[in-house]
Amino acid sequence: MKHVYLFLSLIILPVVTTMAQNYSDTLKSKLYIEKDLDTAYSEFMNTGARLRLPMYFEPFEQGKHFGFLHKGTATTIIGQLMDSTAFVTVTANLNKEVFLKQGAELIEELDLKTLEGRPAKMFLIQFMADKTLIHRIMFFTGDINSTLLLTANYPAIFSNLLKDVLLSSFITVQY
């Protein structure tokens, strides 16, 4: 009988330990990202869209373009509203070949939802600019009447630090 208990405990112990580590890691990750987002919502000029930005982003204006900038990582976030353009129409034709024709490589594509419940689609692409590898997150959300595009550009070297935080910010978008 002792052998049965010993055998069961040896089987259950690794499973429980593994589950505890995953839960703890996930919790730490969520808390880390939550702490990286501002508690207030910031609005994109001329779009009516607003979101919780990652910390330390400042508004900038360059000609007709308005957005937010993180000076330490040279990351920019820009929002663009496309009226009378259905979300599905815009995202349906974006694929690896389309990005290659524009000189970019598609790294990842995700189907998401905003916290408001709107469908969203994210494309992570990379391209070279002035001898620097750049990552671009293109986050589309909307409905049959309009599409909102949020774009984040940052040097690829910062991807591990920024990608998840930027996506967590983008899913908070309201418009």
Domain contains 175: no
Rounded to an integer, what distance in angstroms lies between the CA atom of residue 131 and that of residue 140?
28
Domain contains 61: yes
Domain contains 151: yes
User: Same domain for 61 and 94?
Assistant: yes
Q: pLDDT-based confidence at 32, cuts 50/70/90?
A: low
Strand 50-51 and strand 42-43: the pairing is antiparallel
Domain total in the chain: 2
pTM value > 0.85: no
User: Same domain for 157 and 142?
Assistant: yes
Give the CA distances from residue 107 to residues 25, 136, 159, in Å, rounded to whole numbers and listed in that order.
Answer: 25, 10, 12
- In tens, the pLDDT along 104-149 reads 999 999 999 999 999 999 999 999 999 999 999 999 999 999 999 9
- In tens, the pLDDT along 150-159 reads 999 999 999 9
**Domain extent for 124:** 39-170
Domain contains 155: yes
User: Same domain for 126 and 71?
Assistant: yes
Mean pLDDT estimate for the chain:
85
Domain contains 122: yes
Domain contains 123: yes
